[in-house]
Structure 1
């Protein structure tokens, strides 16, 4: 994978139509995203944020495999948990919750981007994740989770204590 050629090839696009591209699968490459959303190439951190954002824009998850897809090739990468980490949240004037990732991508929690409790990779503990497009998800950072937990409303359901928030009219369970 020629990183410079990839950047040149995709740099002019604003939206990447991955579903329309049918490149050859070229196998795995030594790119890894750790549990904190940091990207590595051959074990070394990728220092250029614009390159990480470019990779993130062509990332998808299909049948549990994380793929980078370009018009010329498709490769598999390793993801320890979720490829993105939610690091900030802002309540909008209309009561919706806007969540921001470690790559400065913003999403509104709701039917298009639901918050789901899913087992964390490694220990199976149920944690909130934001479901994104292309089979991807973003994990709530510990700091953000606790910040939102302070605002959650406690409800007892079937004898179990649950914590709920609303993004506009969309209710979601935080834990």
Structure 2
């Protein structure tokens, strides 16, 4: 299937889940040469391939599909942004992260590589229920998945090596993360409280009776 990045052409709903993937030979128009069966030794790293695909047959590894996700969470095909949100969300629903940190679209028939600039999703909205330790924080991603912060879906803060600014992330599913947009991060910080943790003053938020640290506080601060 040759994917048109614009909102044209057939709806890929039926084929995206069961194969073929964009750029694979079985989809008709060929835009990428089909690589070897196991490009760059991918199989040992992709846990999803440990089980057979459709009909008990092993999945075919297509290699690079020409698909990528930029830092703003926008999907691209051969360098052009994919305009249809439905298509973007459909592709995201079959996205997996391998043990070596690479990203792959996995259907019952085939597997193909997706290049990701940072993380696959953005957290674009926050929902808050209750307060204190009973508080429940949830985020909606740019693909309209809603994830609630808990032990299995933790918050974490990294530091941008170029700017020194905080980079907040939440785990969505299966090792796939979303980065909080700036406005959502500010909303999160507004819910922060101080707690004593391991002899340190920590600033963070509660969700589902678990405290998630956003950073340490200077002991000299009032």
TM-score, normalised to structure 2, is 0.66
Matching residue of 2:146: 106
Q: Which has the higher strand share?
A: 1
Structure 1 residues 89 and 33: alpha-carbon distance in aligned structure 2, compared to 1, 3 A threshold: same
> Kindly tell me: are residues 115 and 144 of structure 1, through their superposed partners in 2, closer, same or farther at Cα, counting changes over 3 Å?
same
Matches of 2:76 and 2:170 in 1, distance apart? 23
SS of the equivalent of 1:174 reads: strand
Shift in CA distance, 8/172, structure 1 to aligned 2, threshold 3 Å: same
Structure 2 residue 170 is the aligned partner of structure 1 residue 134 = no
User: Given that residues 16 and 91 in structure 2 are in contact (C-alpha distance below 8 angstroms), is that contact kept between their aligned partners in structure 1?
Assistant: no
Given that residues 81 and 121 in structure 1 are in contact (C-alpha distance below 8 angstroms), is that contact kept between their aligned partners in structure 2? no
1:36 aligns with 2:42: no
Matches within 5 A, 1:16-165: 20=51, 21=53, 22-62=58-98, 63-93=100-130, 95-118=135-158, 127-155=167-195, 162-165=202-205
The answer to whether the 8 A contact 1:31-1:39 is kept is: yes
Aligned pairs, number: 170
Whether contact under 8 Å (1:84, 1:139) holds in the other structure is yes
The runs of 5 or more residues in structure 2 that have no matched partner are: 4-9, 19-47, 216-222
Q: TM-score, normalised by structure 1?
A: 0.82
How many angstroms apart in 2 are the aligned matches of 1:5 and 1:71? 18
**Structure 1 pair 48–74 and aligned structure 2 pair: CA distance change class (3 A):** same
Looking at CA atoms only, which structure, 1 or 2, has the larger radius of gyration? 2
